[in-house]
Structure 1
Amino acid sequence: MVGPACRLDAFMVGHSKVYDVCIAFGYATSTADIEGEIIERAPCSEQLLQRSFATELLQSFVGVQQQQPPAYSAISVGGTRAYVLARKGVDVCIPKRTIEVYSARLLGCEQRIFSGFPHAVTTWNVRFHVSKGTYIRTLAQDIGKRAGCCAFAAELTRVRAGSIKLDQCVPLEQLSSINADKPIPGMLDPVQALQFPVIELSSQQLTRVLCGNELLLHTCSVIDCDSHGKPAPESAHAAAGASESVCVSAGMSVLASAHASVPRYYSLVAYTNGARVLQAVYKGADDNPYLRAQCVFAQGVRCT
């Protein structure tokens, strides 16, 4: 996000995410990834290389759960990042948080050799679809414990954040070499990236919006909704018989109680000089007929 669109960052962080991780068994490290020191070793059962065993164990992690964030994390503890304290040898205590694993799909099991490890290591390649705030390193640790040994995240790639996929991304090196007179490669449509329901504004509504005034929802025409925060069809949630515990709020997945008022965000667009422009982000709720301004752009953010 650049220019005025930087203000949209706050509306992107609540989306679910998809990761590909290589879980290595038989070792635990201080940071729960391959960068840390080996702090524990444990023998691995041969069944770890059986796809049926791996698939069944992974499915036991699908659903809502309490997770202990790692000490080596960017979470603030008393005004200091946890990883800073951990590197100083301070015993960091971070409260557990509620997270949800929407799906855990096994991509493969194999033996691999990693630099610094004396023997070939049993690994699982797994694709996780998870809620905001989920630590994949912690999932790897917990999976190792449930498998009867220990484990860490040897490799990790985020392949999707909300609606934005890895193949839509542009390397920083490519951006640094562009000509200012040419279009920026990889430009994304802000409305598509937000994945909120879309409201096209009349001229009267646009005047109100640019002043930050409220809008009555029933006077607006909601023309589009594609919530990427919702668990993908591949999720084993329903198959496992688990109750739905995620409230999909116009593209933002939030863990909520059954009685919570769910916030709903909307992208407000208008046509200016023939161009489709994002003029504002408004928020409503189940129990309130009014939409209220969260972010208003005086000149708008142009859609691609």
Structure 2
Amino acid sequence: MSAVSVPESVITPEADKPVRVKLPRRALHGVVLLDKPLGLSSNDALQKVKRLFRAEKAGHTGTLDPLATGLLPLCLGAATKFSQVSLDSDKRYTATLRLGQTTTTGDLEGQVVTDVPVNLTREAVEAACAAFLGPIDQVPPMHSALKHEGKALYEYARQGIEIAREPRRITIHQLDILSWQNETLVIDVRCSKGTYIRTLAEDIGRHLGCGAHLTALRRTACGPVAIGQAVTLEALQAMTEAERDALICPVDVLVSDWPDVLLSHEDAGRFLSGMRRRLELPDALAMRVYGPNPTLTREQRPRIFLGSAHVTAGELIPSRLLSPAEVQSQILLP
């Protein structure tokens, strides 16, 4: 039997098509301070940054609404162990309010409900802002990701269902007027975790008697880190891998405002094994713990972050520990 003739074009490889090479993931440890763009969810931003860095493990430190911009700390590797710290920390925002107009959602996404003329004095606006300073009770908005019977509140809101919400105690540490002109009020807010700036905007409008909603929101600080240290997604995409890697902050940046202690080489090893250490230290709810750098040629990094601890009755008690590989990664940094 003769062989079947097959056209050469069928068996010849398609050389004009680029071959995709999947690069391996890397065990990176640290924090990327991202300036999140408008319209992107926190998870979408996280996934884009994770792919850019080819990181094995990454997580964010609490969501920032798609309609908000600004500081979004993203944790890589060992830094994910301290993401809750950032979630629980105070936040700072620049918020723009539209006075005289309310919406169904408290922001630009909703339909306008009321629209009234605005005739206010500077004194009235200042008094309204001052009224919300300090500890206050705030009712979470229906258009939020809070769960009720396993379902987010915004899902009920989209169905026209109103769920009773209990007020939450929050603290407004600072509330300054950056600018005010007729219907537009821009404020600088420093607040405790769990504060809804959208609700604060509505409450200020309600206090003024004209109503208000949030038209723009930018997060400018999260705990000890600030927007001035952040990089945009666009800038990251334009960088080489080496340039991106140089922007990774140390694992301990999210706890840099905690008191710290440097252990001896012997105590550091025992601490990393989970043992308590007896030290002459005052009681503390949270501390950064370091050990000496065993690499004598590294003068720029004389100590290595080991994890967190608390101090009770003179005992340093481990809370979150880095693994040996995570500790070693700091020593090997260029």
- TM-score, normalised to structure 1, is 0.75
Q: Is the 8 A contact 2:264 2:292 kept in 1?
A: no
The match for 1:4 is 78
Q: Which has the higher strand share?
A: 1
Q: Is the 8 A contact 1:209 1:280 kept in 2?
A: no
1:199 and 2:261 matched: yes
The match for 2:330 is 302
Q: Which has the higher helix share?
A: 2
CA RMSD of aligned residues (A): 2.3
What is the CA distance between 1:71 and its match in structure 2? 0.6
Shift in CA distance, 102/210, structure 1 to aligned 2, threshold 3 Å: same
Matches of 1:25 and 1:189 in 2, distance apart?
42
The match for 1:189 is 250
Bigger radius of gyration: 2
Match of 1:130 among 191, 194, 210: 191
1:54 and 2:81 matched: no
Gaps of 5+ in 2: 1-74
Q: Is the 8 A contact 2:225 2:254 kept in 1?
A: yes
Matches of 2:174 and 2:242 in 1, distance apart?
44
Deviations 1:148-199 (A, max 9, x none): 1211111111111111111211122333444334452433234343121111
The match for 1:209 is 271
Percent identity over paired residues: 25
Match of 2:212 among 151, 162, 182: 151
Match of 1:292 among 314, 317, 324: 317
Q: Is the 8 A contact 1:15 1:161 kept in 2?
A: yes
Match of 2:305 among 257, 260, 278: 278
Q: Is the 8 A contact 1:109 1:124 kept in 2?
A: yes
The match for 2:157 is 86
Matches within 5 A, 1:90-169: 90-111=161-182, 122-169=183-230
Matches of 1:181 and 1:295 in 2, distance apart?
29
Match of 2:240 among 170, 179, 182: 179
Matches of 1:202 and 1:91 in 2, distance apart?
58
Matches of 2:188 and 2:95 in 1, distance apart?
6
- TM-score, normalised to structure 2, is 0.68
What is the CA distance between 1:267 and its match in structure 2? 0.8
Gaps of 5+ in 1: 112-121, 223-261
What is the CA distance between 1:28 and its match in structure 2? 1.0
Deviations 1:88-136 (A, max 9, x none): 222222221000111110111114xxxxxxxxxx011110111111111
Q: Secondary structure at the match of 1:8?
A: helix
User: Which of structure 1's runs of 4+ aligned residues deviate more than 4 A?
Assistant: none
Matches of 1:170 and 1:103 in 2, distance apart?
26
Matches of 1:263 and 1:206 in 2, distance apart?
19
Deviations 1:227-274 (A, max 9, x none): xxxxxxxxxxxxxxxxxxxxxxxxxxxxxxxxxxx9611111123324
